[in-house]
Structure 1
Amino acid sequence: MDSTQFALAFLGGLIPALFWLWFWLREDRQKPEPYLLIALTFIGGMMVVPIALPLQKLAMDIYVGSNLVFVWVVIEEVLKYAIALLIILWNRYVDEPIDVIIYMITIALGFAALENTLYLFNIIDIHDIPNSLVTGNLRFLGATLLHVLASGTVGVCVAFAYYSSALIKTLAGLFGLCMAIVLHAIFNFFIIGGSGQTILGVFLFVWMGIIVLLLFFEKIKIIESRHLSTSQK
């Protein structure tokens, strides 16, 4: 293993993820989450990758073509949500609706950081750094934000049901998970074998989804504010 090549790949995967983590944490400035808990959640997201890879490899022996692509998506999205349920969403620090979205996005960025590292390590050329940086930027713009959009969608659905019964929250989470799978699958189907114009259109679709996600952030902040006002009366 070339240590320089791995270091470049690791930085190429980690730095964009940390940038986006900083960006999204700014949405929770009024009552920020503990940094240690954010770090552990980020690492938890990274740990999903070595669990997902053997399952995806096993799927290659069973499925082909578009079915395989869809199964890969299901594996990733189910595992990201499962790890969030396992390590963080029950925690006492998740005490307002927006926290659910923050931690789901943190899981997604941890996953994207390691996934992008492995991807860049396989294609990075120590003798052609500029081209490798271009590839890294494409991952920065596309795949990383896709994971944010998918997991953020789950978070939004659960956040809207935050003050509802356990059954409603469970159903909201399952609905969000289905939406995340659909969004992720659409992205993958169009990216694989797509023309340059198609890929550009898909990236635009992801960016529009991120804007919608930001709008939902603001909506949920309003809901939380109204809930606090009502509970104090």
Structure 2
Amino acid sequence: MRVFWLLLVSLVPGLLWVYFFYRQDRYEPEPIRMIIKAFIYGALAVIPVGIIELPFANQITANTNLIKLFLLTILVIGLTEEFFKFAAVRYGIYPSEEFNEVMDGIIYAISVGLGFAVVENLLYTVVFGYQVGIIRAFITTLVHASLSGIAGYYLGLAKMQRGSEVTLITIGLGQVVLLHGIYDFLVVGNLISMTVVMMIVIGFYIYLIRLIRRANRMSPFKS
């Protein structure tokens, strides 16, 4: 029974978001096997992230120095998590012939982000309980999907615009590292209310939706 509830709290929300965003790819939906592959890569990305972040856990959660906390959330949480999610797409999916439009970068990156979020939420639920797991299912899962999708948009542009790859990847990855780090700084530091947290998450989501619409307009498969 415990396993059932753990899966319900962590896995189901992630899969529902995968389905939702997959449906946003209007003109050439990706093969399901590639979506599953991306999701698994995201889940595996938790391993190197955990190895890097774990030694800093106490410094982050118990830090009262806001400057130090800000640096830790940017450089340890934001950079580490967004880099490894990005790397999963760049080196695991990007070379595939199936990755052939900007929208693909968004969809694959979101799938990676949700795979990562599911495993992370599962671990948090085991350690901190179902209440934390439920909150993360509604908030953190969408944060990972949105930020990964934003970076994926720029990765998709990079593949379509050869010669500008470094610049576009730097812009995309740089954005989400900062957004993720600042978000965690505000949340971990208890500097904002839950209402403001929700407003920020909705802001990430709206930004992503705008990029999805733009990517669909650019699709070479649009009839």
Q: With the length of structure 2 as denominator, give the TM-score of the two structures.
A: 0.87
**What RMSD, in angstroms, separates the aligned Cα atoms of the two structures?**
2.3
- How far apart, in 1, do the equivalents of 2:209 and 2:36 lie? 22
Shift in Å at residue 228 of structure 1? 6.8
Distance 1:89 1:54, change over 3 A: same
Q: Where do 4+ consecutive residues of structure 1 move more than 6 Å?
A: 61-64
Q: Deviations over 1:62-121 (max 9, x none)?
A: 986413322122111111111111110111001111001100000000000000000001
Q: Are residue 211 (structure 1) and residue 206 (structure 2) matched?
A: yes
Shift in Å at residue 61 of structure 1? 9.0
- How far apart, in 1, do the equivalents of 2:9 and 2:25 lie? 26
The residue number in structure 2 matching 1:109 is 114
Q: Which has the higher contact order (CA 8 A, sep 6+)?
A: 2
- Match of 1:158, SS state, is helix
Which of 138, 144, 154 is the matching residue for 1:141? Answer: 138
The residue number in structure 1 matching 2:219 is 224
Q: Does the 8 Å CA contact 2:102/2:157 hold for their aligned counterparts?
A: yes
- Match of 1:28, SS state, is coil
Q: With the length of structure 1 as denominator, give the TM-score of the two structures.
A: 0.83
Q: Does the 8 Å CA contact 2:85/2:112 hold for their aligned counterparts?
A: yes
Aligned positions, number? 215
Residues 67-82 of structure 1: pairs in structure 2 closer than 5 A: 67-70=71-74, 71-82=76-87
Q: Are residue 88 (structure 1) and residue 87 (structure 2) matched?
A: no
Distance 1:138 1:61, change over 3 A: closer
- Where structure 2 has 5 or more consecutive residues not aligned to the other structure, the ranges are none
The residue number in structure 1 matching 2:169 is 173
- Where structure 1 has 5 or more consecutive residues not aligned to the other structure, the ranges are 125-131
Larger radius of gyration: 1
**Identity %, equivalent residues:** 27
Shift in Å at residue 216 of structure 1? 1.6
